[in-house]
Structure 1
Amino acid sequence: MSVTKKEWNGLIVLLILITLVLAAPGVYKKLHPYKLVNPNGFDEAAARLPKMDADTTKLNNVKLFLFDPNHLPDTAWQKLGLNEHQITTIKNYEAKGGRFYNKADLKKIYAISSDDYKRLAPYINLPEKSNYTAKTNAVVDINTTDTIKLTQIGGIGNGFATRIIRYRDRLGGFCKKEQLKEIYGIDSAMYLDIAPFIKIDARKISKININHPDKDRLLVFPYLTYKQKNAIVEYRNQHGDYTQLSDLKNIPIIDDGILRKIEPYISFK
């Protein structure tokens, strides 16, 4: 069988490629010889790392003092050896209505380690065990109650109680329990916890006379925007008093969804 010149050249190229592939590992080893690891290098590297006991040294220099953790200033927490993350976590807990009633309550803060608690516990100026008024979980009428009675419900601290009362005053009263979820910080989980201890007397709702509204009351009413409130007043000035809720449908920026929300709070005389 005869071989053409073109086939012969292809065969030679193929043989060269095979030779290069087989020789490549050996050439690589000669160009990049293995280097033995110097075990002393680990010690040198470790010496350059920050000392593991740096935090311990810092805490040893902290001078502890008696303190009440409730609303303690950031600077005081810093003097007690807490870092910025821990302090922020505590402040967020308080902002959501959290309060420390006894020493063990500080352990509720996930950023406080068991070591931190052991270090701080002897200086916390609170009782070892809770001796504050127990949560009675009595059912309260949210339209007539005060902050003191609200805080007797498990899960509601002073912060949440204040927010609930303020929102109730803006509304004029609650017409259903679900409105509690409109308050900042009350999520679905918290709502389910407190709802069984809430009742509502809708007869206690303070309504807005849409024809002669209290300007201050109308201004803070949360279910209408400023433009909608202004439009209601202007339309009445131009067309006379409203006689029924459907009259408000004549205002383009008032839809059925808004009417359903404001209906329990509107009167016409």
Structure 2
Amino acid sequence: MRIWLSKYFGFSKGEFNGLMLLILIIAFLKFLPLIYNYYRPIEKDDPNLLASIQNIKFTDEQSYLYTRDKIESSNHKPISKLFKFDPNTIDAEGWQTLGLSLKQAQSILNYRNKGGKFYKVEDLQKMYTIAPEMYKKLLPYVEIENQHQVFAKKDFQYEKKEYTKKASVIVEINQADSAGLDEIKGIGPAFATRILKYRTRLGGFYKKEQLMEVYGLDSVKYAEIKDQISVDPSEIKIININSADFNALKTFPYLSYKQINAILQYRKQHGKYANVNDLKKVAILTPQVIDKVLPYLSF
């Protein structure tokens, strides 16, 4: 390199040595910081450094919270002041002036909006938002309008109702309508309707005891009404057994469909029934059934 510089640039040996020295100095200065950092001894942190940092952070957070609360309280909460008030009419701002927070005030308003009412001073203790200490502070200032009138006893005039007892009557049950049956003590509209429906299906009653066949009218109810009724058998509907068809007999409560068919088939095969003895020849008819249907039949 020295020969090349001497040949092309005319550098002498001394000039070349000076140039190389300059290059070495520049390189040394350039890499000096790196060398220093590599060989520099490690410094130990102050043992109280972490605590100091945390203290600074805690102090900053306290300062922030204090500033925030101060701003919020100045914007949203009036200065606390006690005054006479009615808990049934005071608004949210009034409650806050008395020392409650906005949330506490709103809870009381919600209670009132749902129909809640303070009838006496002690009712304030029911509100969980009002602490016992706050209740003691507010107690001397509570004034509920018409408090005594609300709880004053009212003079009620009790009117003694006298129920008119049904007069004892005798009702003929084959001709009576629903109003007539309702006159019977112990027979209301429901029983009257049932009796009329069964009477229509049956064709009338030939004896009182048949009333116990009406749905819901048991022996106890029958004993209650039997002396208030009479029966006229001449009012029952008579069926001619020799001319009646299936439709004429099918609503009759004492005969089943099978028994009706047996009656009609026997008549078709043997001719008309002359009397009850012929009816007894229908094997499917029991003596009990014949006794029940006989008052309604003609031959």
TM-score relative to the length of structure 1:
0.49
Look at both structures and tell me which one has the larger radius of gyration over its CA atoms. 2
Higher RCO (C-alpha under 8 Å, 6+ residues apart): 1
Q: Scaled by the length of structure 2, what TM-score is found?
A: 0.45
